[in-house]
Amino acid sequence: MFSSASLSQLSKMKVDIMKYQRDLQDKFDKNISYFDKLISELNTSTIQNKKNFLDFCDKNNISVNEYSELYNCLYEMFTNICLFNTDGLLGLFQGKQAEWGTLKVTLSKEDFPKFNNDIVHEETIIYRGMSEIEFEKKDFTQHWTTDLDIARKFAFDTYSDSPRGIVVCAKIDKDDVIYYECNSHEKEIIPIVRKIKDPVIFEK
């Protein structure tokens, strides 16, 4: 589906390309060609150039309609490209919004060769606010925190409607931490997901 230029860009952004293609196929069928065009044509865009996106829509006869799922998902992809080009992988990972849904970015230790894990305990307790469905599937994302209150905020604010979210508690060894911002507001810690140990529901 994707051209070599788009595949190269998505690979640099550490996107799960197979999952992204499946999600787009399920949602948009034949209209997925617009995403290939967007990624290959606007892959140098920065957040200041929204006009580029609107020009792209005009050229491709895409309705600029905030109620259109196609328009919104294309704009989200454009915004993700902008985040990556202005703030790098970490900026994309931290800046993309969970409700956007279609883009899964997976980071590895090789992405942060200068990270010093001496700031992490040998075994660290980590938390994540999530839906019960995510917990049941054990298909966790890499967004975790060492701050219980932050996890509660995501669990109960993001999932303020029914069904209510949950707080999950788990453990991670220091050698399995990809990145940690101990001085940040959200105390975000990025683990190797398959190395997460003993996840349990802490609060619901």
Residue-wise pLDDT for 136-159, tens only, equals 999 899 999 999 999 999 999 876
In this structure, are 184 and 138 located in the same domain? yes
Instruction: For 53-87, write each residue's pLDDT tens digit.
Output: 999 999 999 999 888 999 999 999 999 999 999 99
Q: Which of 45, 65, 100 is the last residue of a domain?
A: 100
126 bridge partner residues: 170
In this structure, are 182 and 145 located in the same domain? yes
Q: Which of 67, 100, 133 is the last residue of a domain?
A: 100
In this structure, are 17 and 39 located in the same domain? yes
Number of domains in the chain: 2
Q: Which of 55, 78, 100 is the last residue of a domain?
A: 100
Q: Which residues contact 4 (CB under 8 A, 6 or more apart)?
A: none
In this structure, are 52 and 23 located in the same domain? yes
In this structure, are 11 and 91 located in the same domain? yes
In this structure, are 131 and 196 located in the same domain? yes
Give me the chain's average pLDDT, please: 91
**CA–CA separation, 59 vs 128, rounded Å?**
42
Phi, psi of 186 (to 5 degrees): -90, 0
In this structure, are 122 and 193 located in the same domain? yes
Question: Could you list the residue range(s) of the whole structural domain that residue 39 is in?
Answer: 4-100
Q: 104 pLDDT band (50/70/90 cuts)?
A: confident
In this structure, are 158 and 195 located in the same domain? yes
In this structure, are 115 and 82 located in the same domain? no
Residue 164 near residue 154 (C-beta atoms within 8 A) = no
Residue 97 near residue 115 (C-beta atoms within 8 A) = no
In this structure, are 95 and 114 located in the same domain? no
In this structure, are 27 and 59 located in the same domain? yes
Give me the sheet containing 166-173, strands edge to edge: 177-180, 188-191, 144-145, 123-130, 166-173, 197-203
Instruction: For 85-96, write each residue's pLDDT tens digit.
Output: 999 999 999 888
In this structure, are 116 and 35 located in the same domain? no
